[in-house]
Amino acid sequence: MLVCNDETIKEDDLKKLEFEKYIRKILSSKGYTFTTNENEAKVVIFYQYGISNPQVFERDVIVPVWGQTGISSSRTTITTSSSGRISSQTYNTPNYGVVGSNVVRETDITYLRYLTISAYDVDFYKRTGDNKMIWLAELTSQGSKDDLRYIFPFMLVAAEPYIGRSSGQKVEVIIPDEPADNRVIQLRGF
């Protein structure tokens, strides 16, 4: 059984239904089959997701100012006219480089997105009345996008190799979004 353990999310919430569809796809690829009958379930899988308020970070960035730093070479041409007049023309080749710097204030806005999926042994609970966790996947994602519907499939694709087993440690996974990873496209069904 797959259960959203956030009571504030309604059963018919479209975002929840979309996320649940993605979770089912990933779990099905791991060999899980689903039931809505509590008596048939061997495992109950709880999930919860969310996104933080925007976190604003400001920083000063030093930006170089480019300009002429001097002359690398100079060439003078002297000509004499038939009347005996002498003229000269000088051609300079300038050097360019950093001549200074400016400080620019930059602002970054970041969101923390999370998803927790945990699996419990139903038979153990029926026998003992105690919960026995089988596995746990805790995912966090940080970035500038505040659209959880966009980010959610990326998080699941990153977690897919570790769902149902222990990674033994914290694992950092990077899934490119431009262009979108093929696994994300397949999960979304596009």
Residue where a domain stops, chosen among 105, 121, 139: 105
Residue where a domain stops, chosen among 35, 70, 105: 105
- The reported pLDDT for the residue numbered 16 is 95
Asked whether residue 117 falls in the same domain as residue 179, the answer is: yes
Residue where a domain stops, chosen among 88, 105, 122: 105
Asked whether residue 181 falls in the same domain as residue 131, the answer is: yes
Asked whether residue 16 falls in the same domain as residue 33, the answer is: yes
The pair of structure tokens assigned to 139 is 């995912």
- The reported pLDDT for the residue numbered 190 is 67
Asked whether residue 171 falls in the same domain as residue 80, the answer is: no
> Which CATH number goes with the domain that contains 136?
3.30.160
- The reported pLDDT for the residue numbered 71 is 84
Asked whether residue 84 falls in the same domain as residue 174, the answer is: no
How many distinct structural domains can be found in the chain? 2
SS3 at position 68:
strand
Asked whether residue 37 falls in the same domain as residue 127, the answer is: yes
Cis ω before 94 (30° cut-off from 0): no
- The reported pLDDT for the residue numbered 73 is 84
Asked whether residue 173 falls in the same domain as residue 113, the answer is: yes
- The reported pLDDT for the residue numbered 165 is 84
pTM for the whole thing?
A: 0.73
Asked whether residue 116 falls in the same domain as residue 181, the answer is: yes
φ, ψ (nearest 5 deg) of residue 149: -65, -35
- The reported pLDDT for the residue numbered 151 is 94
Residues of the chain with pLDDT under 50: none
Q: Within 10 A of 154 (CB to CB), how many other CB atoms are there?
A: 24
Domain range enclosing 149 = 2-54+109-188
Asked whether residue 87 falls in the same domain as residue 161, the answer is: no
Asked whether residue 79 falls in the same domain as residue 36, the answer is: no
Asked whether residue 116 falls in the same domain as residue 158, the answer is: yes
Asked whether residue 144 falls in the same domain as residue 161, the answer is: yes
The Cα–Cα gap between 90 and 78 comes to 9
**How, if at all, do strands 86-121 and 133-143 pair?**
antiparallel
**How, if at all, do strands 2-4 and 55-80 pair?**
unpaired
